[in-house]
């Protein structure tokens, strides 16, 4: 069952429950609102640290300077995932392999393992929970924005036969209408733009239709990719 508290918060719950109390839902909504505010502040710090590591600042990524009065201008999604106990995990998948369409995703794993990332030459590697720590998955749009310097994380979630696992994912994304492309500081003749500019809204449409082929479909022919300099 997918329960939408408001346009910003998605709560994924088991399909069967014995009792539903509206007061509990209201209390849960308040907690999620507060959690989302904390995540929004954290992500604001994280994006500046990530850009700084590339030699960039807010002036290089203009949409970061936009007023944040409208939640729809800066769409943020908080998602709660529930993975019930599975009697035969070999025949089930909690979440299929994929990359996130966001700039990045901040994940609270709780204390149950289930997240795995794919590493070239090795295969699937478990990301075990660390008490007090959060996981940050690089998304497709940060891969595009950094011109491939930050690699989008291919990951999946597996189930187990002993524990019910719950995770909380916060997806940090740009405004819908802003075209995402690498700043000029990251582009030169040796490093042409790998992907054509794309808005998050457009990219979500491509991802919804073509799933994990989406990045390939907007990739430039780097032998002919446009290069401009100031």
- Which residues have CB under 8 Å from 24's CB, separation 6+? none
Q: Where does the chain show beta strands of DSSP type E?
A: 2-6, 9-12, 76-83, 95-98, 104-108, 115-119, 123-126, 135-138, 155-157, 165-172, 179-180, 198-199
Task: Evaluate whether residue 162 is within a structural domain.
Answer: yes
| pLDDT score of 165 | 93
Backbone angles phi, psi at 195, to 5 degrees: -135, 150
Number of Cβ atoms within 10 Å of the Cβ of 150: 18
149 is catalytic: no
Burial tier of 83 (Cβ tally within 10 Å: 0-12, 13-18, 19+):
buried
Which stretches of the chain drop beneath a pLDDT of 50?
1-18, 226-230
| pLDDT score of 73 | 62
Task: Evaluate whether residue 27 is within a structural domain.
Answer: yes
CATH classification of the domain holding 42: 2.60.120.330
Task: Evaluate whether residue 192 is within a structural domain.
Answer: no
pLDDT digits (tens, 9 = 90+) for 11-60: 433 333 445 566 666 677 788 889 999 999 999 999 999 999 999 998 89
> b/e for 115-148, b at 16 or more Cβ within 10 A?
bbbeeeeeeeeebebeeeeebbbbbbbbbbbbbb
SS3 122: coil
Task: Evaluate whether residue 187 is within a structural domain.
Answer: no
| pLDDT score of 28 | 74
Task: Evaluate whether residue 183 is within a structural domain.
Answer: no
Query: Could you give the number of structural domains in the chain?
Result: 1
* pTM, 2 dp: 0.84
Q: Which of 48, 72, 165, 219 is catalytic?
A: 165
| pLDDT score of 33 | 87
Task: Evaluate whether residue 213 is within a structural domain.
Answer: no
Task: Evaluate whether residue 140 is within a structural domain.
Answer: yes
Q: Mean pLDDT across the chain, nearest whole number?
A: 85
User: If you count them, how many residues does the chain have?
Assistant: 230
**How far, in Å, are 138, 145, 192, 214 from residue 226 at the CA level?**
26, 16, 7, 21
| pLDDT score of 22 | 61
Q: Rounded to an integer, what distance in angstroms lies between the CA atom of residue 72 and that of residue 226?
A: 32
**How far, in Å, are 10, 83, 151, 169, 198 from residue 79 at the CA level?**
5, 13, 23, 5, 24
| pLDDT score of 76 | 80
- Which residues have CB under 8 Å from 222's CB, separation 6+? 192, 194
Q: Rounded to an integer, what distance in angstroms lies between the CA atom of residue 101 and that of residue 172?
A: 10
Task: Evaluate whether residue 17 is within a structural domain.
Answer: yes
What is the extent of the structural domain holding 146?
2-178
Q: Rounded to an integer, what distance in angstroms lies between the CA atom of residue 134 and that of residue 109?
A: 7
């Amino acid at each position: 069952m997918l329960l939408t508290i408001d346009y910003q918060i998605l709560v994924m719950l088991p399909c069967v429950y014995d009792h539903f109390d509206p007061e509990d839902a209201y209390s849960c909504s308040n907690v999620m609102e507060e959690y989302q505010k904390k995540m929004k502040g954290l992500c604001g710090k994280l994006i500046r640290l990530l850009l700084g590591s590339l030699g960039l600042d807010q002036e290089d990524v203009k949409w970061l300077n936009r007023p944040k009065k409208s939640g729809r201008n800066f769409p943020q999604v908080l998602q709660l995932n529930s993975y019930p106990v599975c009697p035969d995990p070999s025949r089930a998948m909690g979440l299929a392999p994929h990359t996130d369409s966001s700039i990045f995703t901040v994940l609270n794993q709780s204390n149950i393992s289930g997240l795995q990332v794919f590493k070239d030459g090795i295969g699937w590697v478990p990301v075990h929970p660390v008490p007090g720590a959060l996981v940050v998955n690089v998304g497709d749009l940060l891969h595009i924005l950094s011109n491939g310097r930050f690699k989008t994380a291919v990951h999946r979630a597996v189930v187990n036969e002993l524990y019910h696992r719950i995770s909380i994912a916060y997806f940090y994304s740009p405004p819908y209408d802003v075209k995402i492309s690498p700043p000029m500081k990251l582009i030169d003749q040796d490093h042409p733009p790998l992907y054509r500019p794309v808005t998050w809204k457009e990219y979500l449409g491509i991802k919804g239709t073509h799933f994990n082929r989406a990045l390939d479909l907007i990739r430039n022919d780097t032998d002919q990719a446009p290069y401009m300099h100031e």
